[in-house]
Amino acid sequence: MHVGEKVKLFIPSDLAYGAQSPSPAIPANSVLVFDLELLGIKDPAAAPAVGADADEEEDAAPAASAPAKK
């Protein structure tokens, strides 16, 4: 997508809520439709880390509240 581009996203009911309606405003087995517009793109260097590398970093450092192992 390019900045300013608009798309319509369709989510079939089996990938959305299915037979379990979350509220009266969304009937069961509804196809969800989202209108999206890309307003801008952030600098990737300023974005927080996500994905497998971020999970490994969190696992590498012990939690501050965890008792030390002896």
- 3 state SS of 59: helix
The pLDDT tens digits along the chain (70 residues) read 899 999 999 999 999 999 999 999 999 999 999 999 999 998 888 877 777 565 555 555 555 555 555 5
pTM: 0.55
Report the alpha-carbon distance of residue 11 to residue 27 in Å, rounded.
14
Report the alpha-carbon distance of residue 23 to residue 18 in Å, rounded.
12
Domain segments of the chain as ranges: 1-19+30-40
Q: Which residues pair with 6 in a beta bridge?
A: 37
- What would the two tokens of residue 66 be? 């965890």
